[in-house]
Amino acid sequence: MAAEQVLASLNESLLACRRCPRLVAHRERVARTKRRAYAEQEYWGRPVPGNGDPEARVLLVGLAPGAHGSNRTGRMFTGDGSADFLTPALFRAGFANQPTSSHRGDGLSLRDLYIAAVAHCAPPDNRPTPLEIARCRPYLVEHILRLPKLQVILCLGQVAFAGVLAAVEAIGIGIPSPRARFAHGSVLTINPWTVVATYHPSRQNTHTGRLTALMMDRVLRKVRKALRPPAIA
């Protein structure tokens, strides 16, 4: 079965997920009450599936959908401050065809990159619990395994970094000792993948200067450097 079909099937099962009662209640409550600025819009209010290039060599792993961003638009990193920072960076690095990500029909196409998360439902205060992350981990494991050309996993933030290491261990691949700690810009080899870490592009980080556009560009250059050329058919 083609990678596109396999990923579509995975995302279909994800869309039906109701494993975490707190997250189900929160995502649906936010979709009903809405933010005043989006009062006329219909919110997604469901798990937000992975999206991107099914033949991608890079998997970008975020934390969780934003309540009024992805939980509203139905697409990862779309329609909020994190998207406004991340998408231009992906465009500059050649991983996106345009520098904006505002809604599902905006024409955005990801190139050689696929996006998933450690939690696919919007959590209160942007903080999924360890149990909620563990319940969602099988979806991250499957995203890692079902991307046939995957080489590099880019982790946005400490929670995503820890979640990726846990997913890799769940697959049965040992983590090098001593266990790596999260650090912005770090590069970790876990055969057959390279794991790269960066601060999360939240407004809390980008508006305070903890993460700048230049810093993000440098991390994406490390991702590019870690990629092996595509195999010749």
Q: Could you give all domains of the chain from N- to C-terminal order, each with its CATH number?
A: 3-226 (3.40.470.10)
* Per-residue pLDDT in tens (0 to 9) along the chain, 233 residues: 689 999 999 999 999 999 999 999 999 999 999 999 999 999 999 999 999 999 999 999 999 999 999 999 999 999 999 999 999 999 999 999 999 999 999 999 999 999 999 999 999 999 999 999 999 999 999 999 999 999 999 999 999 999 999 999 999 999 988 888 999 999 999 999 999 999 999 999 999 999 999 999 999 999 999 998 765 54
Q: Where are the alpha helices (DSSP H) in 74-129?
A: 81-92
Residue 110 forms beta bridges with which residues? 96
**Cα distance between residue 233 and residue 223, in whole Å:** 24
Two tokens at 109?
Answer: 């196409």
Q: What is the largest CA-CA distance in the chain?
A: 53
**Cα distance between residue 66 and residue 76, in whole Å:** 9
Q: Which amino acid is at 25?
A: A
Q: Residues with Cβ < 8 Å from 187, sequence gap 6 or more?
A: 194, 195, 196, 197, 222, 226
Short-list 85, 64, 59, CA closest to 7: 59
* pLDDT, position 179: 86
* pLDDT, position 228: 86
pTM attached to this predicted model: 0.96
Q: Residues with Cβ < 8 Å from 141, sequence gap 6 or more?
A: 167, 170, 171
Q: Do residues 202 and 137 lie in contact, with contact meaning Cβ atoms separated by under 8 Å?
A: no
* pLDDT, position 231: 57
C-alpha angle 70-154-87 in degrees, rounded to nearest 5: 45
Q: Residues with Cβ < 8 Å from 77, sequence gap 6 or more?
A: 62, 69, 70, 83, 86, 87, 101, 115
- Within a 10 A sphere around the Cβ of 172, how many other Cβ atoms? 6
End-to-end CA distance of the chain, in Å? 18
